[in-house]
Structure 1
Amino acid sequence: MSASPFLSLSGAIELPGLNDRGVPSHYGSPNIEQRALERGQAIVDLSNRAVISITGPDRRSWVHSLASQSVADLAPGVSTEALFLGPQGRLEHAVGIVDDGETLWMLSEPESASALIDWLTRMVFTLRVEVADRTEEYARIGLVGDAIDVEAAAPSGIPLSWNDPWGSVLPGGWQYAEGDHPSVDWTWREVLVDRASLSALADRVRSGELRAAGSLAAEALRVAAWRPRQAAEVDEKTIPHELDWLRTAVHLHKGCYRGQETVAKVHNLGRPPRRLVMLHLDGSESVLPEHGATVLAPKGDDEREVGHITTAVMHHELGPVALAVIKRAVPDDLELVVLHGETRIAAAQEIIVPPGAGATAEVPRLPRLGVRTRPGR
């Protein structure tokens, strides 16, 4: 895939080691770009991310049987998202989904797209479906709201625009977060455009007709909305409950799919072993911890490792904040410490998934059975 034309725009900087290599991280003013993006006045180049198509008359029922979300009756133009889980319920792939009446489109992370396509292809068997990587044909552009006019590709007559469902709990879903949720104003969407039109879109930015924001701006807004992302928050142990992903990506009452037993068991009877939190970081050191940085909690006169940073950002209003996955049993009022090399950063928790998440089934308690005695004793 050729380099993005957005990288040739004035001020475009691509930072190494981020989840969005191959697109601009910022254009010189990340905080200003955040504000513009939040107001719906800027677009984000996401052209490095993958686009997968599934065609054929069995496409929706087939994906429905494999994924955590109900898509069998997904109407054309309606957006949703789904997870593909391993046999033990661990999260392997997360995708955005929209169907245009002829093709079901999946939006995937670039690093996992090849493995997802290989697995889906192996699962076709005799069904009338065909899986294809369409990333060379279509590119993704991120926006907030609908104030900016970006012409979406429409190969079947319906514009390919994915509206992120994170702003509300979908039918069949469940939210562990308590109280007001910051995603209430989250109106993120991604438009699929013909990749050949990317240069013209970059020219509109260059001329001043459009404004661009870097991927750092999009990540900062995502963190503030508590929105998980596969490339950042997911590791080899992740189950959906830990990230509060039952809100929009899991339908708890659909038919069987791989990993469903774990989803139901943890939700109804158990508790997720880890939980997602947002950390408000002490900004006096003027550093942001890297992905994977260790999170410590006090234990007596010592400290213990309780989790790791998944995404750390500088938000234009909240300041330095991060999403982190920590052990469920960590008290929710405990002050934590994040290690950044030799630097210790104080961190206060904002609860996303509470320690008591799960175990939602009302299971009656059996009476204790005493020792039986013979009549008259």
Structure 2
Amino acid sequence: MSPKSPLLARAGAVEAGGLDSGTAAHYGDPLREQRALARGEAITDLSSRGVVTVSGPDRLSWLNTLSSQKLLSLAPGESTELLLLSVQGRIEHDARVLDDGERTWLIVEGTDAPALAAWLTSMKFTLRVEVQDVTDDWAVAGSVAPVPAWAEYLVWTDPWPQVSPGGYSYAETETADHPGLDRPWHEYLILRSSLEQAVEASGRALAGAMAAEALRISAWRPRLGAETDDKVIPHELDLIRTAVHLDKGCYKGQETIARVHNLGRPPRRLVFLQLDGSQHTMPAAGSRILFGEREVGRVTSVAQHYEMGAVALGLLKRSVDPTAELVVDDDGELYAAAQELIVSPGAGQAVGRQTGFLRAPRVERKN
């Protein structure tokens, strides 16, 4: 778990819960902060993030063999994303990746950093790599627009929603029209001991975690621990787009990635929900999504967007009619929800099963 941010001492700061614990949910005016963040006039304290480093001459080739991403030619300063999967292809770890020429930096959720560092350490064997959880020493701050005063800091730039080399889009929407283009995103690595001074030097206002989450949700950007559960596979979240290289060598979970991509369809699909704004409350993450009286999915993230009102992400059964009007049920409190496709119901079967083979005639058995 990441240590609490010193910025919580700022006037008006209200601490966030869940994945953002230890940072401010807001500083007194969430919607104003969100507008400023969207305009590139504010920064967000992301020091709830965890930071793991891998050093040594074998670091990139080693991470390449373990992960879903092709890292052999990753240049210093280049940003990418990787997944570490189970044998069944389910997401176990998700990391933002940046190399500085000497170390590879993995920015993860704070709750995931100890487990990731421990697992990587267990996989070292005789390779020339060193793994460190440096969360106590390094903080992360985010911004829609680059921060000129922070030019000296390492910065990870989110590849979302572009389709990375070796990736593939499972979205219904063309990339040129993807709402993620309205939210470019940069995450800076800053020494925790220098975080307050860095914020002052930036010349920008502070926006809380609520603001960053609303922009993330409206950009359809999935988050580990929010959109993921113990069954989720990358195809369901459109993460083949940025976090998987379909043409790289063998890694754990690759068989599932290839099988679903080439022959099958993911059982669920990520969806954007526009919620009824007439109510003065919002449903909680984890609320049931209903089609009629039948449960067809769960809400994964919820926010109040400064332009669109109450919005959410959810995971639905793939077979749900994409035109269906849905209802979110938060322990008996009902919210009408209009869905907007993220992952297409027809996604998958990029190659498809071979057809046209003749079957042997069926032989009737005699009793």
Question: What is the match of residue 330 of structure 1?
Answer: 320
Paired residue total: 358
Aligned counterparts of 2:340 and 2:49: Cα–Cα separation in 1: 30
Change (3 A) 1:370 1:195: closer
Aligned counterparts of 2:354 and 2:276: Cα–Cα separation in 1: 46
| Pairwise CA distance, 1:304 | 1.0
TM-score normalised to structure 2 length: 0.94
Q: Does 1:169 pair with 2:163?
A: yes
Equivalent position to 2:210, from 216, 231, 252: 216
Q: Deviations over 1:265-287 (max 9, x none)?
A: 00110110110000110011221
| Pairwise CA distance, 1:368 | 2.9
Task: Check conservation: 1:142, 1:189, Cα contact below 8 A.
Answer: yes
| Pairwise CA distance, 1:370 | 6.3
Q: Does 1:187 pair with 2:188?
A: no
Task: Return structure 1 stretches of 4+ with deviation > 6 angstroms.
Answer: none
Partner AA of 2:57 in structure 1? P
Q: Deviations over 1:312-351 (max 9, x none)?
A: 0010111111000011111111111111222110101100
Q: Does 1:198 pair with 2:198?
A: no
Q: Per the alignment, in what secondary structure is the counterpart of residue 222 of structure 2?
A: coil
Change (3 A) 1:370 1:54: closer
Aligned counterparts of 2:115 and 2:340: Cα–Cα separation in 1: 34
Aligned counterparts of 1:203 and 1:258: Cα–Cα separation in 2: 44
**Equivalent residues in 2 for 1:86-97 (5 A)?**
86-97=86-97
Question: What is the match of residue 365 of structure 2?
Answer: none
Equivalent position to 2:332, from 334, 338, 342: 342
Aligned counterparts of 2:302 and 2:182: Cα–Cα separation in 1: 21
Aligned counterparts of 2:79 and 2:361: Cα–Cα separation in 1: 59
Question: What is the match of residue 226 of structure 2?
Answer: 232
| Pairwise CA distance, 1:113 | 1.2
Partner AA of 2:120 in structure 1? L
Change (3 A) 1:81 1:25: same
Question: What is the match of residue 305 of structure 1?
Answer: 295
Task: Check conservation: 2:16, 2:22, Cα contact below 8 A.
Answer: no
| Pairwise CA distance, 1:310 | 0.5
Aligned counterparts of 1:89 and 1:101: Cα–Cα separation in 2: 30
Unaligned runs of 5+ in 1: 153-158, 373-377
Task: Check conservation: 1:77, 1:160, Cα contact below 8 A.
Answer: yes
Aligned counterparts of 1:339 and 1:11: Cα–Cα separation in 2: 32
Question: What is the match of residue 115 of structure 1?
Answer: 115
Q: Deviations over 1:58-92 (max 9, x none)?
A: 00000000000111110000000000000110000
| Pairwise CA distance, 1:30 | 1.1
**Residue identity (%):** 52
TM-score normalised to structure 1 length: 0.92
Aligned counterparts of 1:276 and 1:3: Cα–Cα separation in 2: 32
Question: What is the match of residue 347 of structure 2?
Answer: 357
Aligned counterparts of 2:147 and 2:132: Cα–Cα separation in 1: 32
Change (3 A) 1:371 1:271: closer
Aligned counterparts of 1:50 and 1:236: Cα–Cα separation in 2: 20
Aligned counterparts of 1:370 and 1:266: Cα–Cα separation in 2: 28
| Pairwise CA distance, 1:212 | 0.3
Task: Check conservation: 1:167, 1:186, Cα contact below 8 A.
Answer: no
Partner AA of 1:123 in structure 2? M
Question: What is the match of residue 280 of structure 1?
Answer: 274
Question: What is the match of residue 124 of structure 1?
Answer: 124
Partner AA of 2:129 in structure 1? V
Question: What is the match of residue 141 of structure 1?
Answer: 141
Question: What is the match of residue 54 of structure 1?
Answer: 54
Question: What is the match of residue 296 of structure 1?
Answer: 290
Change (3 A) 1:320 1:116: same
Aligned counterparts of 1:325 and 1:308: Cα–Cα separation in 2: 6
Aligned counterparts of 2:208 and 2:225: Cα–Cα separation in 1: 17
| Pairwise CA distance, 1:231 | 2.1
Question: What is the match of residue 156 of structure 1?
Answer: none
Aligned counterparts of 2:4 and 2:63: Cα–Cα separation in 1: 32
Task: Check conservation: 2:161, 2:241, Cα contact below 8 A.
Answer: no
Q: Per the alignment, in what secondary structure is the counterpart of residue 223 of structure 1?
A: helix
| Pairwise CA distance, 1:44 | 0.5
Aligned counterparts of 2:360 and 2:329: Cα–Cα separation in 1: 53
Task: Check conservation: 1:9, 1:202, Cα contact below 8 A.
Answer: no
Aligned counterparts of 1:145 and 1:263: Cα–Cα separation in 2: 34
